Amino acid sequence: MPLASARVALHPDIVIGTIDPRLYGSFIEHLGRAVYNGIYEPGHPQADANGFRQDVLALIRELNVPIVRYPGGNFVSGYRWEDGVGPHSDRPRRLDPAWRTIETNQFGTDEFMRWCKAANTEAMMAVNLGTRGMAEAAALLEYCNVPGGTAWSDLRRKNGAAEPYRVKTWCLGNEMDGPWQMGHKTADEYGRLAAETGRLMKMIDPSLELVACGSSGNSLPTFAGWDARVLELTHDVADYLSLHTYLGKGDGWGSATLRTWGEYQAQPLNMEWHIRSIIATCDHVQAKLKSKKKLMLSFDEWNVWWHSNSPTYPKFADWSIAPAQLEDNYTHEDALVMGSMMLSLLRHADRVRMACLAQLVNVIAPILTRNGGPAWKQTIFWPYLHGSLYGRGESLHVAIDSPVYDSKEFGPVPYLDAVATRDPAANTLTLFAINRAEKDTLPLAADLRLLAPTARIIEHLVLESADSQARNTEAAPRAVEPHKRGTAKLESGRLSAQLAPASWNVIRIQL
Ligand code: AHR
């Protein structure tokens, strides 16, 4: 039986919130081939004099990534940032216990700042609150942001950067609630350290925006309790609380048992619940402290991550340099889940101000490379690109009435997932819509009579595939890519479209 129509209504002036451009941020960690042989590969035919791969940079510029978190991730909790500055020949090799690799330190803070400039992006730095503490965080801040005349700032100048980097956004550690983290702490231990480190950092540079570590996953027993306690201790100094979520087809972390199509497509509802729970937690603490300060959220790690957790993923030798870790080769169905996660971020644009797709190159990333070879776009590149290009401006309230299917984990799940954004600068409206039905077309009827009568469709982009397991590879880098043959029509303020089975849709309207 064909699916009933999904109905959507919206008003272009009824706004959830302004979308902070930093919602389309990403993440580069010293992990696997993200840095080495990802963004940095001296000797590659496409590398410039800095060793930055120009083919990779071109793809990143195409994505228009506003901010990139660095240098980790779990890596940062053991990192000595001083190892990564100064003459390359003097930089020590160190063990990275987080990922059981050797870190050569040939790429460090100065290279990252130069790379950010080339990528047309801004740096979001994380400090080590695992094995280190306040003094080292303050030293790194001094190195980055103080113009000169002090030991650390003069060292930066000596290393070739006369101007300070003026990094505005800083993460106070990474996933400190996780028992896997080097220097893992209780909420009280972390909360006090983060509060004092943040206070010291703001004494040096009051213009900073600081992110405190929230829970690193909502399945941890400490979820939400950790967040509440950390917030109580850091409320004065933190501007954002971090959230992390990875979704996968595996029925549990590393499980070889895979979810069905419908259960997998429903997983973004978990992210929706996560965001709502953490907003409630922030507001609870604000009320408890009788504070006027409303905490914002930084969803600084999110993505689909499961292929490389599977028991069949190749093992790499311990203590090797830049092995192929976490290189998920994403399928078409993964792109729909990832797209739906991005729609959750947009639906909460009033509170989620920053977000980092984890990660950017090779490591659970929209871009894959081969050492000495080409770079290509994964399936998830496309929803990320569309969001970043067309999901700017304001996120709108959208009323949705969709047929549903039953899920074991979530109950009734709407076939339609949709978000609308309006960009006042370009005077455009974009309707992002996912049809979660694997085999059925979903008729869409949107009441847009409140738009100007001159509104017209610019294009209807569709990412679809007859094979839900299709992937982009070096041999077939364009196996999954969008086309512009979507069926959307706008007549007398009524939009209609047939959303292809298992499809990601971007309907762009000129107002
Ligand atoms: O992004 C990969 C890893 O996932 C990060 O290092 C860590 O913060 C998270 O657990």
Residues 83, 26 within the same domain: yes
User: What confidence score (pLDDT) does residue 1 get?
Assistant: 67
- With respect to residue 15, please indicate whether it lies within any of the assigned structural domains: no
> Are 380 and 416 in the same domain?
no
Nearest to 368 by CA among 454, 308, 442: 308
Output the average pLDDT for the chain: 97
Same domain, yes or no: 294 and 434: no
- pLDDT class for 312, splitting at 50, 70, 90? confident
Based on the domain organization, do 188 and 234 belong to the same domain?
A: yes
430 falls within a domain: yes
How large is the average pLDDT for residues 115-130?
Answer: 98
For range 128-137, the mean pLDDT: 98
Residue 2, pLDDT score: 82
Q: Which residues contact 173 (CB under 8 A, 6 or more apart)?
A: 76, 77, 126, 127, 128, 129, 130, 190, 193, 194, 213
Looking at residues 181-201, what average pLDDT do you find? 98
Mutate to test the pocket of ligand 1, among 300, 301, 303 (most ligand atoms within 8 A of CB): 301
DSSP, residue by residue, 343-404: HHHHHTTTTEEEEEEE-SBSSS-SEEE-TTS-EEE-TTHHHHHHHHHHS-SEEEEEEEE--E
Ligand 1 atom closest to 72 (CA): 6
pTM value? 0.97
- The answer, yes or no, to whether any atom of ligand 1 lies below 6 A from the CB of 486, is no
Domain of 95, in residue numbers: 20-390
Pocket flag, ligand 1, residue 391 (CB < 6 Å) = no
Residue 299, pLDDT > 70, answer yes
Measure 73 CA to ligand 1 centroid, in angstroms: 5
Q: Quick one: pLDDT at residue 376?
A: 98
| Contact criterion met (CB below 8 Å) for 450 and 399 | no
Residue 130: pLDDT above 90? yes
Asked if the model's pLDDT at residue 270 lies above 90, the reply is yes
Q: How far does residue 43's CA lie from ligand 1's centre (Å)? A: 29
pLDDT of residue 94: 98
Check pocket membership of 328 for ligand 1, CB cut-off 6 A.
no
Mean pLDDT, range 78-107, rounded to an integer: 98
How many angstroms is it from 71 CA to the middle of ligand 1?
A: 11
Q: How high is the pLDDT of residue 254?
A: 86
Confidence of residue 310 (pLDDT cuts 50, 70, 90): confident
Q: Residue 294 in 3-state DSSP?
A: coil
pLDDT at residue 252 in the model: 87
Residues 125-137, mean pLDDT to the nearest whole number: 98
End residue of a domain, out of 328, 358, 390: 390
Written as six digits, the tokens of 104 are: 């050569």
Q: Which atom of ligand 1 is nearest to the CA of 364?
A: 1
The domain tally of the chain equals 2
CB atoms within 10 A of CB 485: 11
Instruction: State which ligand 1 atom lies nearest to the alpha carbon of 175.
Output: 8
- pLDDT value of position 452: 82
Write out pLDDT tens, residues 20-61.
Answer: 999 999 999 999 999 999 999 999 999 999 999 999 999 999
Residue 350: count of CB within 10 angstroms of its CB: 18
Question: 101 CB under 6 A from ligand 1?
Answer: no
3-state DSSP assignment of residue 50: coil
358 lines ligand 1 (CB under 6 A): yes
* 414 pocket-lining for ligand 1 (C-beta < 6 Å): no
For the segment 200-240, what is each residue's pLDDT rounded down to a tens digit? 999 999 999 999 999 999 999 999 999 999 999 999 999 99
Ligand 1 atom with minimal separation from the 174 CA: 8
Atom from ligand 1 closest to the CA of residue 246: 4
Q: How far is the CA of 285 from the centre of ligand 1 (A)?
A: 27
Distance 75 CA to ligand 1 centre (A): 8
pLDDT more than 70, % of the chain: 100
Instruction: Output the residue whose Cα is nearest ligand 1's atom 7.
Output: 73
Query: For the residues of 470-482, what is the DSSP string, one character each?
Result: -B--SSSTTSS--
CA distance 156 to 161: 6
Residue 245 lies in a domain: yes
* Domain end point (choices 347, 375, 390): 390
Q: Are residues 37 and 142 in the same domain?
A: yes
- Catalytic residue numbers, as ranges: 175, 301
Q: Is the pLDDT confidence value at 315 over 90? A: no
Q: What's the gap between Cα 296 and its chain centre?
A: 16
pLDDT tens-digit series, residues 440-477: 999 999 999 888 888 999 999 999 999 999 999 999 99
**Chain position carrying tokens 């992990």:** 31
Is 67 in contact with 383 (CB distance < 8 Å)? no
Does 1 fall in a domain?
no
Q: Which range has the worst mean pLDDT, 266-275, 304-313, 361-370, 389-398?
A: 304-313
Domain shared by 27 and 70, yes or no: yes
Specify the residue with its C-alpha closest to ligand 1, atom 8: 73
Q: 462: closest CA among 429, 421, 493, 498?
A: 498
- Is residue 355's pLDDT more than 80? yes
Residue ID of nearest Cα to ligand 1 atom 9: 73
Residue 242 shares a structural domain with residue 281: yes
Tell me the average pLDDT across 169-181: 98
Q: 291-308 burial string, b = 16+ CB within 10 Å, else e?
A: eeeebbbbbbbbbbbbbb
The CATH number given to whatever domain includes residue 428 is 2.60.40.1180
**One domain for residues 452 and 381:** no
308 lines ligand 1 (CB under 6 A): no
- Please write the tens of the pLDDT for every residue from 404-439: 999 999 999 999 999 999 999 999 999 999 999 999
Q: Taking the CB of residue 256, how many other CB atoms lie within 10 A of it?
A: 11
Q: Around 64, how many Cα atoms within 13 Å sit in the side-chain half-sphere?
A: 13
Cβ contacts of residue 7 below 8 Å, gap of 6+? 400, 401, 402, 445, 446, 447
Atom 6 in ligand 1: which residue has the minimum CA distance? 73
Same domain, 285 and 423: no
Cβ atoms within 10 Å, residue 86 = 16
